[in-house]
Amino acid sequence: MNASLFVLALMDGVSYAALLFLVALGLTLIFGVMRVLNVAHGSLYAWGGYFAATLGLAITSLTLPPWLALPALLVAAIVIGGLLGTVLELTLLRRILDKDPILQLLVTFAAFMVLEDLQRLIWGVQPVFVSGVVDQLGTLEVAGVTYTRYQLLVLPAVAIAAFVGLRWFLGRTALGRQVTAVTHHREVATAMGVNTGRVMWLTMALGGMLGALGGALASPTTSFTPGIGADMMVLSFAVVATAGLGQIGGAALAALLIGLARSFAVYLMPELEVLMPYLIMVLVLLVRPEGLFSTVAARRI
Amino acid sequence: MASNRIVLVAGALLAAVVAVTAAAPWLKTPVLLALANGLAVCGVIVLIRAGQVSFGHAMFASLAGYGVAFMGRAWQLDALLLIALGTLGAALAGALIGLFMVRYRGIFFGMLNLAFSMVLFSVLGKFGHVTGGTDGLRFDRPTFAGQTLERAGFETALLALALVLALAAGWVVMRYFASANGQALAAIKTNETRLEYLGISAKRVFWGGYVLSATLCGLGGSVFALTQGLVTPEMGYWVRSGEIVFIAILGGSGHALGAFIGAFVFEFVKLYAAALLTGAWQMVLGLVLIVMVFVAPTGIFGLLSRRLAGAGASR
Amino acid sequence: MKRTLLKSLALAAATWALGHGSALAQDKPAELKIGITTFTSGAASVFGVPAKAAAEMLIEDINKAGGIGGLKVVPTFIDEGIGGDKMLSEYRRLVQEQGVRTMLASISSGNCNIIAPVAEDLKVLNVMWDCGTEKILEAKRYQYVVRTQANATTEMVATVLYLMKHRPDFKTVAVVNQDYAWGRDSWEIFINTLKVFKPDVRVVAEMFPKLGASDFSTEISRLQALRPDVVLNTSWGGDLDTFVRQAGQRGLFRGNTTFVMPLLESSLERLGAAVPEGIVAGARGDHYWAHPETASDPRHKDFVARFKAKTGANPIYPAYHMAQALFGLKAGYEAAIKANGGKWPAPEQVAAAMRTLKFKAFGREISMREDGQGLEAQLLGVTKRDPRYPFAVIDQMVLVPAELVTTPVGQQSGNWVKSINPALAKVLTTSQFQTHAFK
Amino acid sequence: MSAALLSTRGLSLKFGGVVAADAIDFDLMPGERLAVVGQNGAGKTTFINICTGYLKADAGTVLLAGTDITGQSPRAITRRGVGRSFQLPQVFGEHTVRECLLIAASAVQRRGGFWAPLAQAVDAAEVDATLELLQLHERAHDLAASLPEGQRKLLDVAMALVLRPKLMIMDEPTSGVSTDEKHGLMAVLMKALDERQVTSIFVEHDIDIVRRYATRLAAWIAGRIAADGAPEQVLRDPVVVKNVIGE
């Protein structure tokens, strides 16, 4: 493949990775704090997308100024993500912390099943899609190929912003430090007077928003149909596992790795496209059981 | 829980199944599917015994299923032989993959299984010229023990076989749990360090359990494939794997009987929820499980055993 | 344990002996129960839901007009979205518990594959009302299975003919199809047929993104880099919507590539302004709400109006296929009753009658063949924007007669398309085929 | 030397900068009952972990009855006849006390093949005798997790004892046990070890216990053995008094 094709594959890979990263970021954050792998996270992606589309339609039907479209995406993500995250935390996760990890995983799986059907009941089964934003922002040419500014600039920008923002929040703010503390050692943090309950609620809401944000940002270029959540779930899962659970920086690299592998596959060996994320996941886990960027502590006896 | 009571319950269940399917032949398919699921769940229960949960075990069902389909198409083998070979295939795959898996525990174990199963899933879906792609592979109804049967007869025979297999699997699993290896397997859940300091290899013990679980999933997959005469990659999708674990918890992972009780509840809730309130069966099942986890974490079997043997004996 | 086992087995033997003596008595039932499989969940419900609406409407009409053979038609719907195995259970429940003897199944070719042999075993009439795979009826002779609409071969060969008329001079072609049987098979038929007419055509890219893929940006970039003359895309539902939208946003349609989308008709209204002019669009058969020959026919007009009132959109091809199945079924029963001396016919008698049937739905007359395959013409055209509508419409419509483009009885499509006479390439340009503008 | 049951030569291990084991030369004779004292972090547990294969030494060798077992896995070393108990008892919480011992017994002997139920696969009499010996027989059918700390410690030892070891290494067998129970606990342990004629090493902080039950005492300071010999004499050693007993 020649240089220009290389550039193209790079572009597509990056914008795809950006979305993947946002979703994975939420998943890994939640795991870090709750020590629960939230299977329902995939549904948050779907709900974010559907809700964003609904807002988009509202904007056009109420003939509100079209520039609202982009902020609307963010609002959609914050509202639905925060809402669902809170509900999940208060009604389920909070109550299963002391339970067998298997049960914890299963409860989130059950929540996933419920959300899948609820979503179908609310938004139906017809493909949903509102692309106003993308058309407003227009396109630009790269190596003779037209890209939308949206996918080439907005998506990576938001992803980076989310990454930097989260880093700053966890590292620089008091509340963020509490979250980090709980991540490292829940008991100790509680002993030090950290309000664990609040931290967990915050985390679920935040993680939910990130997952929903992934969906919201995908909605202008993707038709949302039932089942989209399950696919994104397992993909973001692959990212998180490859990076190592709870690894925020790692998730970014893993998402890039998977995104690029996928887009290069389309050019070089299209048959392997779908296989790529999972191949990478298997290979990484076989060599590094805890993922690329995390390490296990030896058990004290 | 007194074992003769269990026998009673099992017997009652058996009689019920036979009577019901005889009264309403159309029920054979769902019952067969439930039994197939139950067999796979037995496999997952073995892992849960060791405190491990796999989000990819449907891969062994689908491996066996595709084995059955391939051999059924290529050599028109007998149903019994197909089941045997399909299961064997899954067992071998389990033995091989198990070599990697024994190093992993907890979430990592679950993830690696998921990863393997998704690779298989994508491969089956992608290389259509061999695997029939996402439409899967069809194969004609094979002979059964040398007999060429009409659909009705074939399903009756298959059902009888599945019942026998279910009883056998249940017996094997319970016997295994009681055995030295089974007890050591259960010890992996609580303390591997001590196992090592007893001179017992946790990895070897776990490997044994993994192979058994893969075999049982394969057995389930083979029966499933023969029931349908069709295998699709969906058989190995991660959501299917999730369902198997789901059923195990629903039915109660303490006892093989729980696996089959759970499988039947699951199958019929799914069937009727799908028929009555279209498009909401997942929600119904999801809510059922959530309730179960909070009110009866030991599953339906846990409740049942407490009923039968009085409180406290549910362990 | 052993005793219980023995007991239950004995019970089994007894009850089974009773259970299986059921012969199919053919005295006239009180009402005509029919089972209809359709997608009410899952991605394909974009077809299933409109089809269901059409079925409810038309069955109501039929019953108002005295039903079929004097019997009230009572439909039961099965969701194909619950998966092949569950659907099969439901299908069998209807037959073996409810005693339904007439089934309309199904949309998915995969499900047709599952059901056809079962229907044959259960001895129930099965009308394949929407699935396209040509292989079923070519691979095996069925007694109880018929299809009241065209199959994939008819659709794709007709599409190639239209392409040859619309843009005879092209050198390179690429494909972006869904990665499942329909996507792969339709491409195979398309390219094999094309090679007959253009042995030197170059295939520059074969891309099969997975069914339900949500992001085609890489495929689109690759197409922009390759700039093929023709791009085939036989996908449908969310996949097609997503592809068209992303392609539009990326300016893929601005080049001088001709896009061929045989299922575009079913997405036109949903996609609205996203569909540009100049795309070769198909409707999987001889039907369109603005059908050049029947648009003004009061029956059709009325159907479209009421469908729109009921669902808020114009009918798309699955709705028409449902109509064909129901009208075909009605005609079949009436013919069978006549042949049976007024007595109520058994499923195999209806199936036999349907094999020699000629009937009309909302397009041209459909004639059934002895292999159970219906001969249905194919409507193709090119998209055009019309100020009267917020969505693209189909213009320059041509009706390709099924006889020209359907594999003859007893032959396999795979071989037949290779043996097509190259002269056929120009047939549509001959005077006997007029091109209808959208009105 | 060849008579020694356990001996180490030049055993060294560093964690980052911290010296956990500093060229330790050490011999244990059959029949001895060695107490190990030392401040936390002096390297007592590290020494045990190296000897039983849980940790790998940077340098040095470990010999068991003259054969080199350096770097072997805990499993291999256990099979050679070294039993061990832990500061935090390592028991099977979800099994009953008796089941724990049955599992342990199944490590050394199996009867009736793969399918035999555990209870029949091993010598139950042996197991019950051991329960009796460590006075756990009344709790035989309670969950291991439900035992009080003291009895969990006994169970921890019992599981190792069922293996019929030549050497028993116990890491703080009385830690986490109230002072008035300590002596009772040690009495039971020592009686059992005597009856089974097991040479033993035990880490202990309580000097009374040491005086009372040890035949030999080794004092650890900063990863090396500062003093080694008869308890009374070692306890009089000023270095030990200053750094270990801390008066």
The answer to whether residue A299 neighbours chain D at the CB level (below 8 Å) is no
CATH code assigned at C360: 3.40.50.2300
Same domain, C369 and C390: no
- Chain-chain contact of C81 with B19 (C-beta, under 8 angstroms): no
Higher pLDDT residue, B280 or A63? A63
Which of B51, B116, B282 has the CB atom closest to A282's CB atom? B116
Residue A45, min C-alpha distance to chain C (Å): 13
Does residue A15 have a pLDDT over 80? yes
Q: Kindly report, residue by residue over D179-196, the tens digit of the pLDDT.
A: 888 999 999 999 999 999
Would you place residue C16 in the very low, low, confident or very high pLDDT band (cuts 50, 70, 90)?
Answer: very low
Does residue C23 have a pLDDT over 50? no
| pLDDT for the residue numbered A192 | 83
Residue C233, min C-alpha distance to chain A (Å): 16
| pLDDT for the residue numbered C65 | 94
Q: Kindly report, residue by residue over A22-54, the tens digit of the pLDDT.
A: 999 999 999 988 888 899 999 999 999 999 999
Residue spans of alpha helices (H) in B127-201: 128-131, 151-178, 180-190, 192-197
Task: Tell whether A255 is covered by a domain.
Answer: yes
- Chain-chain contact of D90 with A300 (C-beta, under 8 angstroms): no
Would you place residue C198 in the very low, low, confident or very high pLDDT band (cuts 50, 70, 90)?
Answer: very high
Would you place residue B280 in the very low, low, confident or very high pLDDT band (cuts 50, 70, 90)?
Answer: confident
| pLDDT for the residue numbered A270 | 79
The answer to whether residue A301 neighbours chain D at the CB level (below 8 Å) is yes
Answer for the pair D27, D4: CB distance below 8 angstroms, yes or no: yes
Global confidence as pTM? 0.85
- Cα torsion C359, C319, C36, B139: sign: positive
Chain B residues within an 8 Å CB radius of A272: 126
Would you place residue A142 in the very low, low, confident or very high pLDDT band (cuts 50, 70, 90)?
Answer: confident
Determine how many CB atoms are found less than 10 A away from the CB of residue D191. Answer: 13
Residue A104, min C-alpha distance to chain D (Å): 19
- Chain-chain contact of B115 with A241 (C-beta, under 8 angstroms): yes
Does residue C324 have a pLDDT over 50? yes
Would you place residue B297 in the very low, low, confident or very high pLDDT band (cuts 50, 70, 90)?
Answer: confident
Would you place residue B312 in the very low, low, confident or very high pLDDT band (cuts 50, 70, 90)?
Answer: very low
- Chain-chain contact of A228 with C206 (C-beta, under 8 angstroms): no
Is chain C touching chain D, with at least 3 CB–CB pairs below 8 Å?
Answer: no
Chain D residues within an 8 Å CB radius of B313: none
- Chain-chain contact of B15 with C113 (C-beta, under 8 angstroms): no
Looking at every residue in chain B, the average pLDDT score rounds to: 88
| Residue D113: DSSP 8-state | T
Residue A121, min C-alpha distance to chain D (Å): 44
Angstrom distance (rounded) from CA C284 to CA C109: 14
Does residue B315 have a pLDDT over 70? no
| pLDDT for the residue numbered B84 | 96
Q: Domains, chain B, ranges and CATH? A: 3-309 (1.10.3470)
Q: Kindly report, residue by residue over B146-189, the tens digit of the pLDDT.
A: 888 888 889 889 999 999 999 999 999 999 999 999 999 999 99
Would you place residue C307 in the very low, low, confident or very high pLDDT band (cuts 50, 70, 90)?
Answer: very high
| pLDDT for the residue numbered B314 | 39
Answer for the pair C361, C248: CB distance below 8 angstroms, yes or no: no
Same domain, C364 and C276: no
Q: Kindly report, residue by residue over B208-218, the tens digit of the pLDDT.
A: 999 999 999 99
Does residue D80 have a pLDDT over 90? yes
- Chain-chain contact of B281 with C82 (C-beta, under 8 angstroms): yes
| pLDDT for the residue numbered C44 | 84
Residue type for D149, please?
E
- Chain-chain contact of A114 with B125 (C-beta, under 8 angstroms): no
Task: Tell whether A297 is covered by a domain.
Answer: no
Could you tell me which chains touch chain C, where touching means 3 or more CB pairs under 8 A?
A: A, B
| Residue D56: DSSP 8-state | -
Answer for the pair B44, B53: CB distance below 8 angstroms, yes or no: yes
Task: Tell whether C436 is covered by a domain.
Answer: no
Structure tokens at C72: 């009230």
CA dihedral B172, B173, B174, B177 (to 10 degrees): 120
CATH code assigned at A153: 1.10.3470
Please give the C-alpha separations between residue C249 and each of A51, A72, C24, in angstroms, as whole numbers: 22, 20, 59
Which of A139, A224, A266 has the CB atom closest to C250's CB atom? A139
- Chain-chain contact of D93 with B190 (C-beta, under 8 angstroms): yes
Lowest mean pLDDT among A254-263, B121-130, C338-347: B121-130
Angstrom distance (rounded) from CA B229 to CA B226: 5
Residues 6 or more apart whose Cβ sits within 8 Å of residue B81: none
Split into its structural domains, chain A has a count of: 1
Partners of C125 in beta bridges? C102
Would you place residue A4 in the very low, low, confident or very high pLDDT band (cuts 50, 70, 90)?
Answer: confident
- In this prediction, residues A211-229 reach a mean pLDDT of 89
Same domain, C141 and C157: no
Residue-number span of the structural domain to which C57 is assigned: 32-150+298-375
- In this prediction, residues C340-365 reach a mean pLDDT of 94
The answer to whether residue A120 neighbours chain C at the CB level (below 8 Å) is yes
Residue-number span of the structural domain to which A283 is assigned: 3-287
Vertex C73 angle, CA C67 and C74, to 5°? 160
Would you place residue A272 in the very low, low, confident or very high pLDDT band (cuts 50, 70, 90)?
Answer: confident
- In this prediction, residues A113-127 reach a mean pLDDT of 86
- In this prediction, residues C38-52 reach a mean pLDDT of 87
Same domain, C187 and C120: no
Q: Searching chain B, which residue's CA lies closest to the CA of residue D158?
A: B198
Q: Specify which of A62-76, A276-290, C44-58 reaches the highest per-range mean pLDDT.
A: C44-58
Would you place residue B285 in the very low, low, confident or very high pLDDT band (cuts 50, 70, 90)?
Answer: confident
- In this prediction, residues D36-50 reach a mean pLDDT of 91
Task: Tell whether A121 is covered by a domain.
Answer: yes
Same domain, C178 and C83: no
Task: Tell whether C129 is covered by a domain.
Answer: yes
φ, ψ of residue A181 in degrees (nearest 5): -60, -50
Angstrom distance (rounded) from CA D25 to CA D15: 19
Residue B179, min C-alpha distance to chain D (Å): 4
Which of B103, B249, B280 has the CB atom closest to A117's CB atom? B280
Residue closest to B52 by CA, chosen among B187, B189, B177: B189
Task: Tell whether A296 is covered by a domain.
Answer: no
- In this prediction, residues C246-256 reach a mean pLDDT of 90
Could you tell me the end-to-end alpha-carbon distance of chain C, in angstroms, rounded to an integer?
A: 77
Does residue C25 have a pLDDT over 80? no
| pLDDT for the residue numbered B1 | 46
| pLDDT for the residue numbered A157 | 96
- Chain-chain contact of A121 with B111 (C-beta, under 8 angstroms): no
Q: Strands across the sheet with C378-385, in order?
A: C202-207, C172-176, C230-232, C258-261, C280-282, C378-385, C392-400
| Residue A95 burial (10 A CB sphere; 0-12, 13-18, 19+) | middle
Does residue B311 have a pLDDT over 70? no
The answer to whether residue D92 neighbours chain A at the CB level (below 8 Å) is no
Please give the C-alpha separations between residue B208 and each of B59, B102, B248, C336, D99, in angstroms, as whole numbers: 18, 10, 20, 63, 20
| pLDDT for the residue numbered C437 | 94
Percent of chain A with pLDDT over 90: 41
Does residue C9 have a pLDDT over 50? no
Residue A227, min C-alpha distance to chain B (Å): 11
CA dihedral C414, C420, C426, C432 (to 10 degrees): -100
Task: Tell whether A182 is covered by a domain.
Answer: yes
- In this prediction, residues C169-194 reach a mean pLDDT of 93
Does residue C191 have a pLDDT over 90? yes
- In this prediction, residues C159-186 reach a mean pLDDT of 93
Q: Kindly report, residue by residue over B190-240, the tens digit of the pLDDT.
A: 999 999 999 999 999 999 999 999 999 999 999 999 988 888 888 998 889
Q: Kindly report, residue by residue over D143-174, the tens digit of the pLDDT.
A: 999 999 999 999 999 999 999 999 999 999 99
Higher pLDDT residue, A186 or B290? B290
Chain D residues within an 8 Å CB radius of B189: 94
Would you place residue B2 in the very low, low, confident or very high pLDDT band (cuts 50, 70, 90)?
Answer: low
Task: Tell whether A155 is covered by a domain.
Answer: yes
Looking at every residue in chain A, the average pLDDT score rounds to: 88
| pLDDT for the residue numbered B99 | 94
Three-state SS string across chain C, please? CHHHHHHHHHHHHHHHHHHCCCCCCCCCCCCEEEEEEECCCCCCHHHHHHHHHHHHHHHHHHHHCCCECCECEEEEEEEHHHCHHHHHHHHHHHHHCCCCCEEECCCCHHHHHHHHHHHHHHCCEEEECCCCCCHHHHHCCCCCEEECCCCHHHHHHHHHHHHHHHCCCCCEEEEECCCCHHHHHHHHHHHHHHHHHCCCCEEEEEECCCCCCCCCHHHHHHHHHHCCCEEECCCCHHHHHHHHHHHHHCCHHHCCCEEEECCHHHCHHHHHHHCCCCCEEECCCCCCCCCCCCCCCHHHHHHHHHHHHHHCCCCCHHHHHHHHHHHHHHHHHHHHHHHCCCCCCCHHHHHHHHCCCEEECCCCEEEECCCCEEECCEEEEEEEECCCCCCEEEEEEEEECHHHHCCCCCCCHHHHHHCCCHHHHHHHHCCCCCCECCC
Q: Domains, chain D, ranges and CATH? A: 81-214 (3.40.50.300)
- Chain-chain contact of B191 with D90 (C-beta, under 8 angstroms): yes
- In this prediction, residues A85-109 reach a mean pLDDT of 88
Residue A300, min C-alpha distance to chain D (Å): 9
Q: Kindly report, residue by residue over B125-145, the tens digit of the pLDDT.
A: 888 778 877 778 888 889 998
Answer for the pair B221, B211: CB distance below 8 angstroms, yes or no: no
| pLDDT for the residue numbered C12 | 46
| pLDDT for the residue numbered C26 | 59
Q: Specify which of B282-286, B293-297, D185-189 reaches the highest per-range mean pLDDT.
A: D185-189
Structure tokens at C206: 């074969």
Does residue D92 have a pLDDT over 90? yes
Higher pLDDT residue, C40 or C196? C196
Those residues of chain A whose CB sits closer than 8 Å to some CB in chain B are 37, 39, 92, 95-96, 99-103, 105-107, 109-114, 116-118, 120-121, 230, 234, 237-238, 241, 245, 271-272, 274-275, 277-279, 281-282, 285-286, 289-290, 299, 301
Same domain, C108 and C163: no
Task: Tell whether A298 is covered by a domain.
Answer: no
- Chain-chain contact of B279 with A281 (C-beta, under 8 angstroms): no
Same domain, C271 and C157: yes
Same domain, C91 and C185: no
| pLDDT for the residue numbered C73 | 96
Last residue of a domain, one of C355, C375, C395: C375
Residue closest to A194 by CA, chosen among A214, A212, A178: A178
Same domain, C50 and C189: no
Angstrom distance (rounded) from CA D41 to CA A71: 58
Interface confidence (ipTM) of the complex = 0.81
Same domain, C46 and C143: yes
Split into its structural domains, chain C has a count of: 2
Please give the C-alpha separations between residue C287 and each of C52, C360, C379, C380, in angstroms, as whole numbers: 17, 11, 7, 10
- In this prediction, residues C307-325 reach a mean pLDDT of 96
Say whether the peptide bond before residue C106 is cis (omega within 30 degrees of 0). yes
- Chain-chain contact of D78 with B197 (C-beta, under 8 angstroms): yes
